[in-house]
Structure formats: C-alpha cells, structure tokens
A and B are shown apart, each in its own frame.
Chain A
C-alpha cells in the first residue's frame, strides 16, 4: 500500500517536472475560471433572490400615499392641543391597519438621540463636521419606524436573535424592543440596551435581533431604501386612547404613523370608497390620498435591469465556459499526445487502467485550481458558503468529465491500436 502510494507520488512528481509549464498554465486558466464562475454564480443568486423579493413586494399591487393636510404650523399646533383630536387620529390609523381591503404601511425615519453612542459616523443622521464633542455627548442616530404591515410586506427577518414581538411593543412602558441593521454587527450585540430620546421622550431600547444584510424597503420614492445602518423601531400595533393630561408624545407619534402608504389590489374607486368609510367612521378627514403610479414603473424598470443583468451574467458565464472548455480540451489532447507512449505501455502489458491514468494526468490542474479558487473566493471576497464552494466543484467535475469524454475516443483509438 505504502509502496503504491510512494510510486504514485513519484510518478506525479515526474509528471509535474516534465509538464510543469503546461500544468501551471492550465491551473491558472482553471483557477481564474472557477473564481469567475464562483463570483458570477453568487451574483446570479443574489439577483434572483432580489428579483423574487421585489416581485413578492410589488407585483399585482397599487400603491397610494396618505398624507395629513396640516401644512400650516399653527393649525397643526392647535389640532394637537386636544386629546379628542389625537384619539380620532389614532382611531383613523387603527381603521387603516384593521381594514381587510388594504395593507397600510407606515414608515418614517425619525432619528433617535442617543447618549454615549458606540457606532461610527456612518450610523449618524447628520454631519458631524461642526459638532463639538466636548459639549455634546449625544448623537442623532439613523432610525426608522415601521408598523407590522411594513415588516410583513418587506419580509424583514432577523439574521441573529429574534424578530419583533408585536404584543411587547408598548410605548408607555419606556422600554422598546428594536432590530438593528446588519452593519451594527459588532457594534451592539443582541440583548444589549441603550438609552435614547425619541420625540422628546427618553426610552430604553433593547436590541432583540440583527437584520439580514441588504434588507431594504420602499421609502420616500426610493424602492431600495437599505436598512443596514438603521435602528429599526416598531410602531405600536394599534393606537391607544391617550391620557387627557399627557398626550404631547402621542400627538407627534400618531401623526407620523398615519402618514404612510397603502398597498391594495382594489381598483382606485373601491380603494377611495374604503378610505372614505374609515374616515367617516373615525371622523378624521384632514388627509389626502396621492396615487404613486411611478412606483409601478420603477418596479418594472428594476425587474428589467435585474433580468438584463442576469442575462448578461449567464451569457458571460457561457462564453467564458466555452472558451475554457476549448482550451482544456486542447490541453487534454496535448497531454494525450505527449503521454501516449505511457498509456500504450499500460495497454501493451494488458493493464486497462491507462484510462484512469489519463484521467489522473488531466485532473491534477483541476484539483489544484479548485482548492485555490475556494481559498481565493474565501479570502478576497470574505465569502464562504456551501453553494459557493459546491458550484466550482460541480463545474470542475463537469468540465473534467467533458474534457475526458471528448478525448476518450482519441485515447482508445491511439492506445488500443496495433503494436
């Protein structure tokens, strides 16, 4: 056994010495090919996942925006002085989210003022250039508030920790569960807490989970508003009746909550009828409904761009594949021609393993290139996944089998000939 292994190693060593340049060239071509296909495959997968996610969110739906009509600051101030008005506002929101004919998606990016914030400038809401750190030890940090329909529509899920427990969201308690964008990994851990000021109320924020990387939502006309650097706060499921003596906070919060988007499969007339019914029943009518047809156009554009990219990636992979397969077939053919005497010697003696020997001879660069490509993809792109290593492996095996079977008739013909 040991002698056999030693003999094989010796044979491979002699082979490498004789065909070193050949093998190095072949290994370089294959390594580049496997790295390229590994990356293209990852990109292709990402594009497909994105396409599927965008389709899930936007396909077959009409989007409308609901905005309040308080353009005048005095009127806005006056409205918020009466708890009855705020309760009507809250009921209007409840009517929207409880309607079975639409999904009311409420999103707003109100920053949180946090003391002794741990993150870097990338997470901050505004420029830090003129900030005097000696005076201020608080930071305005990017935050976004979403209701449960928004979470559901955009399929926000935690890569670490838990998702939001909507029953635990209670702004009166002063402790609020939050999710953090993927870039927060290493800044705040799941379970950690920090204090911050939100609409003038000091609250404790408890990190319950971290979002998947590249999570995005539609926000303010941007179909891909990424949340990687945001603190994601849940809005309460429903608006509660306010305390008649202390409703300043709710006065702002509920306004922010009713300014949102409604996604519906209804026609325009039916949708407006539904909104009117909610407004009539809650007696809050100071709002407007704005259609956003541009969104469907953008959606179509996005899908088309992704599809174009996918086609481009597939075409590139195919062309590169054909080129490499051609090169490798030629290399396989050259090895066959140069090692023919060896294979003939095997056959002449009566040993049929010359086919395996040929396969071994041509497979060495594939094995080395596969190993190198996995290392390169892992080190350079910090990306290791089962699929990203399996794909080059499959390509490598497939290409090797292709080269072998293309050259096999030539091999049999040349070797199993006459003396």
Chain B
C-alpha cells in the first residue's frame, strides 16, 4: 500500500554539523499490517514517521501510495494526509478551545462531511474506544491517557488507510499506558494498518512486524 524507496535523509548542511539518518533506505507497508519501528531516542523513528505522514518533505527518494508516486508539495501532501492518514503523537495535539466531541469531529469537518454523517461516525468511534463520556469536556479537563484516547479517536474517525503513532504512550503513566494499549490492540484486531514508532518492547510485541533502524537502513527485526 505504502512504499518508501531509496530514502536518504540528513540534518545539517555543513560537513561538521551533518547528521545522517537514512541512506538509500526502503520500507513497504501492506494493508492491514501492524508495524513497530523500534530504536533508541535519536535513531530516526520519528523522522521516518514524519516522512510517512508527509510532514517532512526534505529528503531524497520516492514515496508511493498504492503504486502512485506522491509529489513533494506541502499542500498536496496535506490533502493526502487529510484523506488517508491518521496521526497520533506523544503530546496529543488536541484543540484546547474545543470539546472532545468537536476534536474528534474535526477531521470530518475538514473533509466537509455532512452533519449527520459526522455525528454518526463520531458517536461510533467514541463508543468503540469507550470515550463517549468525555464528549462534552475540554482536553484540559482530562488525564493524559484520556487525551491520548481522544487523539486516537480523532485519528481513526475518518477511517484512515494507515494510522501513524509516534510514542503514543511516551508521556503516560502505567495505568494510562495500559488503557491506550487496549485501544491499539483493538484496532490491530480490527485490521487497521498501523505504524508505531516506539522504544518500548511491550508495545512492539502487539505489532505483527518489527523494524529497526540500523546503519541508516530500515531492517526487519522479527515477526509476531
């Protein structure tokens, strides 16, 4: 479904400051698969997710979606992201001035869905992820784990082709982490295509495929 081909990415420009992350790296993600990208901090996990999300366009190589090469144009990639990709970040990125319901409904409004459709989909995903009791509350009234579940609901409400999660439990305590893992497990069980960047072996165990970034390449490191 998604293929990265010949990716070369580095930070810094002068010889002294250059920091290479990928050198001619490749990655293929099939529909319905769950992938964990493992590695220590600074190994390039988030960079890979940024490239997959189209948030980072400053790299060499090609990005294919369903066999079609994507243009490196920020507005076109944003439209692609809106339609096909759900993103969950470590710090949730919820709209603090809107209720949880509005936060979850937000991508559908951006996609200009009609109100009935929005209502049905939001209710359904909030019920599925068991967060409907928070729908009239604002993000600052919730715990970290509850915010992350809302963020996952927001990412999932548009039924994205792929869900990208960057250290989804990185900022959570053990109990909250458990809640989030339950949600991720549920999604994997439902056949959602999922890519998780994590340093946690526990989370990686939930995924079918595990990759590591070694010598600027993305290497498969086990299957479930």
Contact = CB atoms under 8 A, between A and B. Distances in A.
Chain A complexes with chain B: yes
B82 A351 contact: yes
A342 interface: yes
Interface stretch (A11-19, A159-167, A241-249, A306-314): A11-19
B60 interface: no
Given A11-B98, A419-B87, A350 B93 contact: no
A15 B98 CA distance: 10
B97 A348 contact: no
Contact of A342 (B47, B89, B97): B97
Given A11-B97, A418-B50, A419-B166, A349 B89 contact: no
Interface string B201-221: 000000000000000000000
B89 A351 contact: no
B53 interface: yes
Interface stretch (B24-32, B71-79, B129-137, B183-191): B71-79
Contacts of B94: 341, 345
A8 to B, nearest CB: 11
Given A7-B102, A14-B97, A342-B97, A351 B55 contact: no
B56 interface: yes
A352 B166 contact: no
A395 B166 CA distance: 45
A143 B162 CA distance: 90
A413 B149 CA distance: 28
A416 interface: yes
A150 to B, nearest CB: 68
A18 B97 CA distance: 9
Nearest to B57: A416
Given A350-B83, A351-B110, A418 B56 contact: yes
A87 B109 CA distance: 93
A7 B108 CA distance: 14
A347 interface: yes
B65 interface: no
Contacts of A10: 98
A419 B55 contact: yes
A343 to B, nearest CB: 10
A246 B140 CA distance: 101
B97 A344 contact: no
B96 A350 contact: no
Contacts of B49: 419
Nearest to B166: A419
Given A15-B97, A341-B93, A419-B166, A349 B106 contact: yes
Contacts of B166: 419
A399 B79 CA distance: 31
Contacts of B107: 349-351
B115 interface: yes
B19 interface: no
Given A418-B47, A418-B56, A419-B50, A350 B98 contact: no
Nearest to B51: A418
Given A418-B46, A418-B47, A419-B55, A351 B78 contact: yes
Nearest to B91: A341
Interface-centre pick from B85, B93, B107 (highest chain A CB count, 10 A): B93
A3 interface: yes
B81 interface: yes
Contacts of B97: 11, 14-15, 18, 342
A10 B80 CA distance: 29
Interface in A307-351: 341-342, 344-351
A245 to B, nearest CB: 96
A18 to B, nearest CB: 7
A350 B97 CA distance: 19
Given A11-B98, A18-B97, A341-B93, A348 B110 contact: no
B95 interface: yes
A68 to B, nearest CB: 85
A349 B75 CA distance: 12
Interface string A1-38: 00110010011001100100000000000000000000
Contacts of B47: 418
Contact of B93 (A3, A7, A345): A345
Contact of B87 (A18, A342, A348): A348
Nearest to B139: A341
A342 B103 CA distance: 11
Contact of B78 (A14, A347, A417): A347
Interface in A244-267: none
B89 A348 contact: yes
Interface of A: 3-4, 7, 10-11, 14-15, 18, 341-342, 344-353, 416-419
Interface of B: 46-47, 49-50, 53, 55-56, 74-75, 78-83, 85, 87, 89-90, 93-98, 102, 106-107, 109-110, 115, 154, 166
Question: Which 6 A-B pairs rank lowest in CB-CB distance, beginning with the nearest?
Answer: A350-B82, A350-B81, A14-B97, A351-B110, A418-B50, A345-B93
12 contacts: A15-B97, A342-B97, A347-B78, A348-B87, A349-B106, A349-B110, A350-B78, A350-B79, A350-B80, A350-B107, A352-B74, A352-B78
Given A15-B97, A342-B96, A419-B89, 7 more contacts: A4-B109, A10-B98, A349-B154, A350-B81, A352-B79, A353-B110, A419-B49
